[in-house]
């Protein structure tokens, strides 16, 4: 990133793109449920990275900064959808399913529904922690919160997911009480 931001090295940008485009695509795909939208959001994220390259602090790691941009791009996308929903360009106006049944298992669909049932601030933390393998301090930096607040969100989200998906330990505890 230093070579790209300071020296304008286009090859450095290509390396950044190759390294992070796939994980960002996965992040967006899980969030929005559409291949096309996820690809667009990846492109928007890298456009924002390009525009903000001079704001990057070389003393800080790139990955959390990039995911901060991605979270903000996704939030803007969601805000836009809630203000003015758009119909698809083709004549089929049926919304895309959040998970492609041909490529996902029944358990994938159950997990997706359970994730969709979480409040947005908890879902963000789970997706960044579980799927993107980010640490709690990195997530805190991305979402603009303290590490302890992020851990609380994660705890509540994981507890809700275990309850929703039927964790046997929780079921046994309910039967005892």
With respect to CATH, is domain 104-177 assigned 3.10.450.50? no
- If one counts every other C-beta atom within 10 angstroms of the C-beta of residue 3, the result is 14
Query: Whole-number mean pLDDT of the chain?
Result: 79
Residue of 49, 43, 51 lying closest to 64 (CA atoms): 49
State the Cα–Cα distance between residues 156 and 81, nearest whole angstrom.
27
* Res. 7 pLDDT band, cuts 50 70 90: confident
pLDDT at 176 over 70: no
30 closest CA partner among 43, 42, 18: 42
Model confidence over 148-158: pLDDT tens digits? 988 998 999 88
- Tokens 């803007």 — which residue? 76
- 104-177 and 1-86 share a CATH fold: no
pLDDT of residue 39: 93
Position 116 confidence tier, pLDDT thresholds 50, 70, 90: confident
**What does the pLDDT read at residue 118?**
85
Return the domain boundaries, the chain: 1-86, 104-177
- Inform me whether the pLDDT recorded for 79 exceeds 90: no
- CA-closest candidate to residue 133, choices 78, 67, 49, 82: 67
Coil, strand or helix at 126: helix
Using DSSP, state whether 37 is helix, strand or coil: helix
CB 131 within 8 A of CB 108: no
| Fold for the domain defined by 1-86 | Rna Polymerase Sigma Factor; Chain: A (1.10.1740)
Distances (CA, A) of 94 to 69, 88, 90, 99, 110: 30, 8, 10, 14, 21
């Amino acid at each position: 990133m230093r070579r790209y931001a300071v020296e304008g090295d286009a090859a450095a940008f290509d390396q950044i793109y190759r390294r992070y485009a796939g994980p960002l695509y996965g992040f967006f795909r899980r969030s929005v449920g559409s291949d096309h939208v996820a690809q667009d959001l990846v492109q928007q994220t890298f456009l924002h990275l390009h525009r903000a390259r001079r704001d990057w602090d070389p003393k800080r790691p790139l990955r959390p900064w990039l995911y901060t941009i991605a979270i903000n791009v996704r939030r803007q996308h969601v805000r836009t959808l809630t203000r003015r929903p758009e119909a698809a360009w083709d004549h089929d106006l049926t919304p895309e399913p959040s998970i492609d049944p041909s490529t996902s298992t029944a358990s994938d669909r159950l997990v997706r529904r359970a994730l969709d049932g979480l409040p947005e601030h908890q879902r963000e933390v789970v997706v960044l922690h579980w799927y993107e393998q980010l640490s709690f301090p990195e997530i805190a930096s991305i979402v603009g919160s303290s590490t302890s607040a992020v851990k609380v969100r994660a705890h509540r989200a994981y507890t809700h997911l275990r309850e929703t998906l039927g964790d046997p330990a929780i079921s046994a505890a309910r039967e005892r009480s």
